[in-house]
Structure 1
Amino acid sequence: MKLIRDFAVIFACLLAGKFIAFLLPFSFPASIIGLLLLFGLLSAGLIRLEWILAGGQLILRHMALLFIPVAAGLLSYADILNQSIGFILFASFSGLVLILLAVGWLYQRLTS
């Protein structure tokens, strides 16, 4: 029964996120809105952590299985990925460098 309650709370936040995403005049991932909504409810104390802890741990324990369909779907686009591998690597590396520079700069500003 505890897992049903946990999944019901998580699923309710996801459905609320889908509804909010439907109302927005621009496209935004409903799952992200649902996660932000769940985080806000947890932070405000309207939902207790115990209400979602067991269900969340179960989902996290089996998360690797959820990426198998995505990886299999990417195989159908292997030719496009091969053509764009240079740009993908450049974007990934430059994004990493920019994030490291921003975090380093912010850390120096906050500690001095």
Structure 2
Amino acid sequence: MTLIRDFAVIFVCLLMGKAIAAVLPFAFPASIIGLLLLFALLSSNLVRLEWVQAGGQLILRHMALLFIPVAAGLLSYADVLSKGLGFILLAAVTGLVLILLAVGWLYQRLAS
């Protein structure tokens, strides 16, 4: 019964995120809005952590299964991905280095 409640709270936040995304004048992922809404509700104690903890842990435990369809879909584009593999790796490494530099700089600014 607790899993039903947990999933219901998470699902309602997702639906509210979809409703908000539908009225926004620009494109924004509804799932991100739903997560931000759930975070705001948890932070303000309108939703207690016990109401979503078991369902959230179950979803996180089985998250790897959710990526199998994506990986299978990428296999059908292997030829396209292999042509641009250098650019993909360059973008990933450059992004990683920029993020590490930004976080390090921000940490140094906040620590001093």
Band the TM-score falls in, shorter-chain normalisation = over 0.9
Alpha-carbon separation, structure 2, partners of 1:13 and 1:110: 33
Give the structure 1 partner of residue 100 of structure 2: 100
State the AA in 2 paired with 1:19.
Answer: A
Q: Separation in 2 of the partners of 1:11 and 1:111? A: 39
Per-residue Cα deviation, 1:58-77 (whole angstroms, up to 9, x for no partner): 11111111100010011111
Mapped partners of 1:53, 1:111: distance in 2 = 33
Which residues of 2 match residues 1-112 of structure 1 at below 5 A? 1-112=1-112
Scaled by the length of structure 2, what TM-score is found?
Answer: 0.97
RMSD between superposed Cα atoms in Å: 0.7
Percentage of matched positions with identical amino acids: 79
Paired positions, count: 112
* TM-score, normalisation: structure 1: 0.97
CA deviation map 1:65-93 (0-9, x unaligned): 11000100111111111111111101100
Aligned-partner residue type, residue 86 of structure 2:
G
Distance, in Å, in 2 between the alignment partners of 1:72 and 1:3 is 29
Q: Which runs of 5+ in 2 are unaligned?
A: none
CA distance in 2, matches of 1:110, 1:10: 34
Between the aligned partners of 1:99 and 1:78, the Cα distance in structure 2 is 28
SS across alignment from 1:28:
coil
Large movers: runs of 4+ above 3 Å: none
Deviations 1:5-45 (A, max 9, x none): 00000000000001111111111111111000000000011
